[in-house]
Every structure is written in structure tokens, then in C-alpha cells.
Structure 1
């Protein structure tokens, strides 16, 4: 099986490799066609769907996966959210969402000012490019769940749906 992941981000690529160890994995820079910092389930899910469908446009005989991290408001608090989409070679689309975790209260104003979570996190922990490593989830779970694990969870849900519905 050939799988195209619509991202060059190592955490997303490694998540797909973990769930599909037998597959040929190709990473491609695919646009999400949503904000650089998706806000809310709808926009974050749409970004994942767009990545998967846009990848499918260029790689029609492949299974294509889009993964998108975002933030959402829930009861006045800012949470981390993430979505994934899988488009089969014949064009069927499956979606799934994963873990959510509360972010610090002062992040909400920064998001509203237009900053991306990755920028906020890099400044918050005084480290660069955590989106390519442990991610916010890794910081706020004390390393018990990393960004790759979070996306692996979503990719596992996508694979399970694809396998079930293709029976």
C-alpha cells in the first residue's frame, strides 16, 4: 500500500509510519487551505480534510492522509485539538479527532492576537520548533504523550474505519 501524508512535519510522518509500518510512505507539502492557526473543531477538521483531498488530487492511486493541529474554545477555556482525514484510493473520506488538553489561560489572548500556538509554545518554554518534536501535548503531559503519539492515535482511528468500512 502506498500512503501519502500531506505534510513534511516529522511528527506527522512518523505517526503514519507507526500505524502503517508495512506501507510505502510518501510525504508531500500539501496546503490545508485554512488559517495558519486553525481555531475550532470545524476549521481544524477542514484543514485535515483539505490536506487529504488535495494530496489525493496529485496522488490519485494512493491512500492520502491529512493531519491538522488546532485550538478550540470550550467553556471559555482554550484547548488543544487535532483532526485527521484519510482519503482512499477510490475517493472515500474518513475523519477522526483525538486528544484535547487545556492550555494556559494567557494563551487565549495571544491566539486572539493572531499568534500561532507553535510560536507561543516556543516562547513559553524557550525552545525552538517543538511542533516538530514533543509538541504542546508533550510539554503539558510532562512527556507522557508526545505530538507523534497524539497523531498516531488519530491515524489509528482512521485506519480502523478504512478497514471496517471496506469489508
Structure 2
């Protein structure tokens, strides 16, 4: 059984990580410990590079906090080109996998507030009336009428980031 350190306590992110690991390695293949660590980037990262840096720094901080594990995983959500997306970074003791999620275009009414310095989660909670929407379905769930959720979009990106760990061609 793999010991996985998840660099967040966000339920949507934990669900995605657990589901992806079990899809790739089998049911019951991992035990996840969630830790709170800093990203070193603003609460609302802007741009692909800042968002990726946040995910990498979360993995680094999780490794320092919990150095004995098989995998460390971080998912950092950001805004780029008026869309929301995330970077997933997974590390083992000897390699790294990274993948960017699908993107969701955001309405101008939401982007106006983000450009004014607010973070997407609180803006979406205020707009939708759903408390802590970022820990639930997120903007993705709201704007896709529940057809996709944060967890479902993160899941795909985690599966992609796991590619270097189960495909011999990467070794």
C-alpha cells in the first residue's frame, strides 16, 4: 500500500487524488494523509507559471513536513486567460509528474472581481450563495450544471500526472 501525502485538506482535491491512485494502482492501493502547507504564491495565483510554482512549492513543503512517504501530491488552482484551471504535481523519492487540468472560461462578472484582487472561491461563494463552494463542486460544477466538478476535473489531471510512475517508458 502506497503512503500518499496530499498537500491540502480540501475534500474535492483529496477525493480526486484518492480516485486517481485507485484507478491506476487498484482499490485500496494507497493511504492518504492530508497536510496543510503553504504554496508561497498568492491565494489566487494568476498565470500558468505562478500556479505551477504554487503546486511545486506545496509538494516541497509537504515533503519537508512528512519526509517518509511514497508520493507527495499537490493541486494548485489558478486563473489564466480569463479561465480557471489547475496544476497537479506528484513526486516520489526518484521522479516527478506534472499535468495541467482542463480550463473553464469564467464570465466577465466573475473576472472583474478577480482582477480587483479577490480569489475565485470566495467570489463564487458570494455569487452562488453556496458556503465554501471551492471545497465542493466549485465554479466548474456551477457553470457546467453539475456535469463536471472540481474533483472530476482534478481527477483527470492527477491520472495524467501519474503517467511517469506506472509507465516503463518514462524510466
TM-score, reference length from structure 1? 0.92
User: What does residue 118 of structure 1 align with?
Assistant: 121
Q: Which of 139, 156, 160 is equivalent to 1:157?
A: 160
- The runs of 5 or more residues in structure 1 that have no matched partner are none
CA contact (8 A) 1:4 1:25 kept: yes
Q: CA RMSD in A?
A: 1.3
CA distance in 2, matches of 1:18, 1:94: 17
User: What does residue 72 of structure 2 align with?
Assistant: 64
CA contact (8 A) 1:53 1:87 kept: no
CA contact (8 A) 1:61 1:89 kept: no
Paired residues in the alignment total 162
- Kindly provide the CA deviation profile for residues 1-56 of structure 1, in whole angstroms up to 9, marking residues without a partner as x: 11000001011111111112310111000111100001111111111111112111
- The runs of 5 or more residues in structure 2 that have no matched partner are 23-28
CA contact (8 A) 2:20 2:158 kept: yes
User: What does residue 84 of structure 1 align with?
Assistant: 88
User: What does residue 148 of structure 1 align with?
Assistant: 151
User: What does residue 133 of structure 2 align with?
Assistant: 130
- Structure 1 stretches of 4+ moved >4 Å: none
Measured after TM superposition, the shift of residue 162 of structure 1 is 2.1
Measured after TM superposition, the shift of residue 164 of structure 1 is 2.0
User: What does residue 101 of structure 2 align with?
Assistant: 98
Measured after TM superposition, the shift of residue 130 of structure 1 is 0.8
CA contact (8 A) 1:49 1:95 kept: no
Is residue 2:59 matched to residue 1:52?
Answer: yes
CA distance in 1, matches of 2:64, 2:139: 31
TM-score, reference length from structure 2? 0.89
- Kindly provide the CA deviation profile for residues 37-84 of structure 1, in whole angstroms up to 9, marking residues without a partner as x: 0111111111111111211122223210010111112xxxx1011111
User: What does residue 11 of structure 2 align with?
Assistant: 10
